[in-house]
Structures are given as structure tokens and as C-alpha cells.
Amino acid sequence: MTTTIFKKTLPATLLLAALCSAGAAWSKDGVLPPETLALYGGRWSTDCANAAAPALQVLEDTLVVQRGKRRIVGRQPDTAHSFFGNQPPPPNFDVALMSRVGKGDDAMMNFLVFRDARGQSITLKADKPVVGQLGPELMKSRYWRCDGPARAAAPPAEPAVAAKPPAPATGSPAALARGPAMDKAWRAALGTRENDRWLVRREGPAPEPQWVTVDGTRYVLHAFCKPHDCYDHNAIALYDQGSGRLYGLVQRNGRNQLVGSPSPQFAGQLDRLWREQWRAKN
């Protein structure tokens, strides 16, 4: 008895449908069609306004990742709307642009396109060998579309943070003048090379410290001089308790020295206060 075995052949139309349902079939000529380029072609970047920022290129026959001199090229590009298969895609997912960086089954470099209120953006997904070429920084970045009508809007400006006003000046001027905060500010303004004892320590005869207001800011005014030589060796120091700023004027042997890098306008105020302390009364 002869047994005949019949083999069923899957029709070509059903085979094509099965391939398409699993993802995208690679294009026959390895190029993206014009309608795909119109939607996704051109330059994408982490910062479209910065030509040196990491960038992507979606071209007819290649997908390119570039940062500086590093350039990774994926060939035979194609698209896949069902890239995630039976799993739900991430929010705002649009399409995957797929390419091969090299031969083999683990050489895929994919551009995952998303669309939200700001515009279109891409994140990278690649096989492990390609991830090694790209590096973690390029892999974790988001790239915004820079070309075409669907280019991404500029990121919103950071809201301006109002400067916190300094605390109002309070307390006893004499206590503040001898306190550690003003002493530290004075020594820092003088610099470490200054070693004149009366000047560094603000020792010697001194009028009572007082509050003065200069350009709307309240300062502690501390005037002091070298013992037994007040006319030719004297100084004033102005300390802003709120900000910690300190300015001063020192006279030694008829020569004046500004302390704390005051502006020219403020230097004029220092000169006026110095004269009130050491010339009007002496």
C-alpha cells in the first residue's frame, strides 16, 4: 500500500500578514520613503540652539548619532508602529525608527519617537554592543526635533526666583563691631599679608561705633586709630550685617587705602565718613 503525504503550504498573502503583525518588515531598498522623512526626517538635538550639543540625524538611508567627533551610523532604516508587540507602548509613543549598526542579530539601533505638547522627541534604544559604542550619556538623553513644522518648542524659561532681602540690621553697634562676624569680614578684606597689629585687630582709641545709612543700606561704622598716632594712622570700617559685606578706608603716613573693593561712588561716601571721623574733629 502506498501512503501519500500532503504538505500544506501557507499562502504568500498570509505569510506577509504574519510578518507585518510581528513588527515592521525591512524595506526592500533600505531607505525611508518620502512620507516618513516628511514626518521624522532631519536634525534632532538635546539643545537645538547649540550646534555642539549631542544630535541625531534621520536621513533617507541612515540614522546617525553624533557628539563631537564620535559618530555612530545605523543603516537599512525602517519604521515600526508595533515596536512593543503585545505590550502597551509608553505614553505618547509614536513610532520606532529602526536601523542596523553592524551585522548580526545584536546590532540594532532604534530611535523611539514620542509626541507631546512641546513637540516631537526621540529616545534611544539599542542592543548591548551598540549601547557600548554610544555610552550612557547619549543613551539617557532626550533629543528634540529641530527641523520642519513639527520642531519642538523651546523649553520654558526657569521662573525667576526673587532675591531674598537681607535681614534688617539690628543690635548694638558696639557689640557688632567687636563681634566675630565683623572681625572675620574685616580680616578677609585686608588679606593675609597685612600684619600691622593695630590695623588687623582694630585696636587703639576709637569713637563709639554707630549706625550709618549709605545708599539705603544700614552699616555699622567703626572708626579706630593707632595708639599715640591717630592723626596719621587711622581707619574706618563699614559692615553690613545683613549681607556680610564690609568696606573700609585706611590712612597711613598720609596715604589712603580702600578696603573691600568699593565702587567709585561708594568710595566717595567712605572718604566723606572718614573725614567726619578723623579730620572734622582733629
Pairwise CA distance, residues 208 & 28, whole Å: 93
Report the 10 Å Cβ neighbour count for 109.
27
Higher per-residue pLDDT: 165 or 128: 128
- As a whole number of Å, the end-to-end CA separation of the chain is 140
Whether residue 41 is predicted with pLDDT greater than 60 in this model: the reply is yes
Q: Quick one: CA dihedral 40, 73, 77, 31, positive or negative?
A: positive
- Select from 240, 187, 185, 234 the least CA-distant residue to 211: 240
In words, the CATH class of domain 173-278 is alpha beta
Q: Are strands 93-100 and 210-214 parallel, antiparallel or unpaired?
A: unpaired
DSSP sequence for 109-134 = EEEEEEE-SS-EEEEEEE-HHHHHHH
Whether residue 163 is predicted with pLDDT greater than 80 in this model: the reply is no
Per residue in 78-90, pLDDT (tens digit) is 999 889 988 899 9
Q: What angle do CA 224, 226, 229 make, to 5 degrees?
A: 120
Banded pLDDT at 2 (limits 50, 70, 90): very low
Per residue in 216-235, pLDDT (tens digit) is 999 999 999 999 999 999 99
pLDDT of residue 168: 58
Coil, helix or strand at residue 223: strand
pLDDT of residue 65: 96
Whether residue 19 is predicted with pLDDT greater than 70 in this model: the reply is no
Pairwise CA distance, residues 80 & 85, whole Å: 10
Banded pLDDT at 204 (limits 50, 70, 90): confident
Pairwise CA distance, residues 272 & 282, whole Å: 15
Higher per-residue pLDDT: 5 or 74: 74
Which DSSP state fits 215? T
pLDDT of residue 233: 94
Pairwise CA distance, residues 63 & 108, whole Å: 11
Question: Average pLDDT of the chain?
Answer: 84
> pTM value?
0.48
Per residue in 238-269, pLDDT (tens digit) is 999 989 999 999 999 889 999 999 999 999 99
Instruction: Encode burial over 52-84: b for 16+ CB neighbours within 10 A, e otherwise.
Output: eebbbbbeeebbbbbbeeeebbbeebbbbeebe
Whether residue 27 is predicted with pLDDT greater than 90 in this model: the reply is no
Q: Quick one: CA dihedral 73, 74, 79, 81, positive or negative?
A: negative
pLDDT of residue 103: 81
Whether residue 157 is predicted with pLDDT greater than 50 in this model: the reply is yes
Pairwise CA distance, residues 202 & 246, whole Å: 14
Structural domain boundaries in the chain: 25-145, 173-278
Whether residue 5 is predicted with pLDDT greater than 50 in this model: the reply is no
